[in-house]
Chains A and B, each alone.
Chain A
Amino acid sequence: MQITAQIHLTRASGFTLAVDLTVKPTGVTALYGPSGSGKSTVLRLLAGLEHTKPSDQILISSDAKIWHDEKQFISPHLRDIGYVFQQPQLFPHLSVRRNLEYAIKRRRGNHDLTLQQVSGWLGINHLLDARPTSLSGGEAQRVAIARVLLSGARCLLMDEPLGAIDYAARLQILPYIDGLRRVLDIPIVYVSHALDEITYLADEVYMLDQGRVIASGRIFDLASSLTLNSHEGDAVAAVIEGVVDTHDPDYGLSRLTLGSQSIYVSLCSQPPGTKVRLRIPARDVSLTLQAPLQTSILNVLTGVVSDIETASAKPSLLVKIKIEDHYILSRITRKSLAQLELSPGKAVFIQIKTVALLTDPTQQVSLLS
């Protein structure tokens, strides 16, 4: 299912939402922005849950079928979508099991996920006979995700699904949503204001602010964009995707490949061949023109300077470096820039001090020096 939406609406409060977007048939399309940016409204419009005025211009279609324009409106229950709300919205009068069966009874399409499979996978087997009101926030949200999976949805819409749960439970649930992305052959639209969730999950990102799309593209491109990061200071980090190659339990390390080069991270649990995401903070990346000899830094890669941030009065600036097909950022001082005579196209050696493996939240940051 591919969804396209052209939305232009105004609210009595004066808020204007003007968003064009395309949800690709697979992968996670994320809507990212501060609260009040209109991202949840966009998601509710995709689901058909939002009221609109006749003066609003809206064109939403899925594949070739119109869902919402000036003449037609397809009701939410006919759109074959699944929706995960910020609050789990479990039916309080039904047990967890009956909540899941509610979805099975009304299942759209014909996939063969069973209640046992889904509840085993989400770790909610022991909760099946409980009442929804007795569950913790994280447990309830896992049940809500299970319920949506069993409903046979052809597209998953998730509206800040981790917004109402505590940090520990978030870390527990994120891998499940990441698992959905890997296992399901359906598009996921994910709304969040949390950058870590976006970098962890998103394939395509629409950045919203005050009802407008201010940037959109692949997460890897946005994370390494000089313009988007120019005001971000120490938090700037690129996101790249590597493939697990070998594990070295003796040293507690795993080797990943980035094209023909490799990078070490602390030992992860993913089997060889798995794609994993890495977060590389710009301030932990340094550049040299000669191969560093006898360094304690494990990860030394080669690349080419791709772009350099326009110099300002600040002492440091960002340099964008291309490593094979990947882009990372390095924060260096203006003095270093001048001494190394860096310019686009120049080959450099890249020393990376820390790499955070995003796909294994049990070990958020691994310091490798």
Chain B
Amino acid sequence: MRAILPQWDLNLLSQPDITAILITLQLALTSTVLLIFLGTPVAWWLARSRGVAKIIIEPIIALPIVLPPTVLGFYLLLAFAPDGIIGQWWLLATGKGLAFTFSALVIGSIIYSLPFYVQPLQVAFENIEQSLLDAAATLGATPLDRFLSVVAPLSSRGFITAICLAFAHTIGEFGIILMIGGNIPGETRVLSIALFDHVESMEYRQAHVLALGLLAFSFTLLTLVYTLNRRWQMRFTSQS
């Protein structure tokens, strides 16, 4: 192998970069798993609710789409500080500070990626006819049973899109992490920040490796989402 690879490929990724990639994957995975549990009920509520509360909650959840990440990061930083609303509570519960920790990144990512997870799912949920759920109820299915046996399988496209978008979005986030995570190697130094550091220090070769890697990853993921969506669409429409 060594003989055929060009010399500069041998140290394609430095140890700190590998650590940053692992931290990033860990962050994206943790946030996405938590989002599935937190975001799914939110999406369901938004899809079914007709009340006044929805008018206020819906834009709040969508805010991260339009807000500069630094704005969100700034407020989160204040909240995560030892005397901030969340930081205070965190200190009480765990005995440790919250700002500039991996946990802070997870909380920030969940808030930041929430609309990317909730919106595709909400659309999928809205497309499920209430009468189909009524039918399941009159066959004796409990609300949770109805969700798992009817809603979830019929929204599988929405779930895949939501999970991929949330995962990819967390992998690529930068501004908010810089504000609340700092740049602590092995704790909060993620891929996008490592890339920024390389560019700052004029290490374009390493920057290229990370940037191209992210590009390839995002492209692959989106291709996967679209392919799966198309296949699902065919499966449900080819039957009629």
Q: Mark A80-93, 1 if CB is under 8 A from B, else 0.
A: 11110101010111
Chain A nearest CB from B147 CB (Å) reads 12
Q: Given the known A-B contacts A85-B131, A89-B131, A102-B149, are A108 and B140 also in contact in the complex, defined by CB atoms under 8 Å?
A: yes
Q: Given the known inter-chain contacts A77-B141, A106-B141, please indicate yes or no for A85 contacting B154, CB distance below 8 A.
A: no
- Apart from A89-B134, A93-B153, list 20 A-B contacts with CB within 8 A: A75-B143, A76-B134, A80-B140, A81-B138, A83-B134, A87-B131, A91-B136, A91-B150, A91-B154, A92-B239, A93-B154, A102-B149, A103-B139, A106-B141, A132-B239, A148-B138, A148-B139, A151-B138, A151-B139, A153-B138
A107: CB under 8 A from chain B? Answer: yes
Q: Which residue of B lies closest to A87 (CB)?
A: B131
**Smallest CB–CB gap between B156 and chain A, Å?**
8
**Measuring CB to CB, which residues of chain B are less than 8 angstroms from any residue of chain A?**
131-132, 134-143, 145, 149-150, 153-154, 236, 239-240
Contact B138 A83 (CB under 8 A): yes
Q: Which of A82, A92, A93, A131 contacts B138 (CB 8 A)?
A: A82
Closest chain A CB from B143 CB (angstroms): 8
CA distance A134 to B132 in the complex (A): 17
Q: Which range holds the interface residue count of chain A?
A: 20 to 34
Residues of A within 8 A of B153 (CB): 93
Q: Give the complex CA separation of A45 and B132 in angstroms.
A: 17
Does A147 lie at the interface of the complex (its beta carbon under 8 Å from any beta carbon of B)?
yes
Tell me whether A47 is interfacial, beta carbon within 8 Å.
yes
In whole Å, how far is B135's beta carbon from the nearest beta carbon of chain A? 4
Q: Is A133 an interface residue (CB 8 A)?
A: yes
Q: Is B132 in contact with A91, judged by CB distance below 8 angstroms?
A: yes
A76 to B140 Cα, complex, angstroms: 8
The 3 closest A-B pairs by CB, nearest first: A89-B135, A83-B138, A106-B140
Assembly CA distance A131 to B234 (angstroms): 14
Confirm or deny: A367 has a beta carbon within 8 angstroms of a beta carbon on chain B: no
Across-interface contacts of A93 in B (CB, < 8 A): 153-154, 236
Tell me whether A134 and B140 are in contact (CB under 8 A). no
CB distance from B240 to the nearest CB of A (A): 5
Check B145 against A106 for contact (C-beta < 8 Å). Answer: yes
User: Chain A residues near B143 (CB, 8 Å)?
Assistant: 75, 77
CA distance A107 to B140 in the complex (A): 7
Check if A194 is an interface residue, CB within 8 A of chain B.
no
A49 at the interface (CB under 8 A from B): yes
Interface positions, chain A 99-152, Cβ under 8 Å from B, are: 102-103, 106-108, 131-134, 147-148, 151-152
Known: A85-B131, A133-B240. A47 touches B139 (CB 8 A): no
Q: How far is the CB of A234 from chain B (nearest CB, A)?
A: 39
Task: Provide the residues of chain A in CB contact with B139, threshold 8 Å.
Answer: 77, 82, 102-103, 106, 147-148, 151
Query: Can you name 10 A-B pairs with beta carbons within 8 Å?
Result: A75-B137, A76-B138, A77-B143, A80-B140, A82-B138, A83-B135, A89-B131, A131-B239, A151-B138, A151-B139
Residues of chain B with a CB closer than 8 A to A83's CB: 134-135, 138
| Minimal Cβ-Cβ distance residue in A for B129 | A89
A239 to nearest B CB, angstroms?
Answer: 31
Cα separation A89 to B133 with both chains bound (whole Å): 9
Smallest CB gap from A157: residue in B: B138
Minimal Cβ-Cβ distance residue in A for B145: A106
In the complex, A87 Cα to B134 Cα: how many Å? 12
Q: Is the CB of A151 within 8 A of B140?
A: yes
Across the interface, name the chain B residue whose C-beta is closest to A83.
B138
Question: In whole Å, how far is B39's beta carbon from the nearest beta carbon of chain A?
Answer: 22
Bound complex: CA A28 to CA B185 (Å): 75
CA distance A93 to B145 in the complex (A): 15
B140 pairs with A85, CB closer than 8 A: no
CB pair A76 B137 closer than 8 Å? yes
Per-residue B-contact encoding for A60-102, CB less than 8 Å = 1, 0 else: 0000000000000001110111110101010111000000001
Q: Which residues of A contact B145 (CB under 8 A)?
A: 106
Known contacts A77-B140, A107-B140, A134-B240: A92-B134 contact under CB 8 Å = no
For residues 207 through 246 of chain A, which have their beta carbon under 8 Å from a beta carbon of chain B?
none
Given the interface pairs A76-B137, A77-B137, A108-B140, the reply to whether A92 lies near B154 with Cβ below 8 Å is yes
With A85-B131, A89-B131, A91-B132: A77-B236 Cβ-Cβ less than 8 Å: no
Give the shortest distance, in Å, between B43 (CB) and chain A (any CB).
Answer: 19
Q: Knowing A77-B140, A151-B139, A151-B140, say if A133 contacts B239 (CB, 8 Å).
A: yes
Distance, CA A192 to CA B239, complexed state (A): 31
Decide: B132 and A89 in contact? CB cutoff 8 A.
Answer: yes
Selected contact of A47 from candidates B132, B138, B140, CB within 8 Å? B138
Which residue from chain B places its CB closest to the CB of A91 in the assembled complex?
B150
Q: Report the separation of the CA atoms of residues A269 and B82 in the bound assembly, to the nearest whole angstrom.
A: 87
* Chain A residues positioned under 8 Å from B140 (CB to CB): 77, 80, 103, 106-108, 151-152
CB distance from A338 to the nearest CB of B (A): 57
**Per-position 1/0 for A26-58, Cβ under 8 A of B:** 000000000000000000000101000000000
Q: Which of B132, B134, B138, B239 has the most CB of A within 10 A?
A: B138
CB distance from B173 to the nearest CB of A (A): 34
Within the complex, the shortest CB–CB distance from B203 to chain A, in Å, comes to 51
Chain B hits for A91, CB < 8 A: 132, 135-136, 150, 154
Complex alpha-carbon distance, A169 and B43, angstroms: 40
Contacts of B134 on A, CB cut-off 8 Å? 47, 49, 76, 83, 85, 89
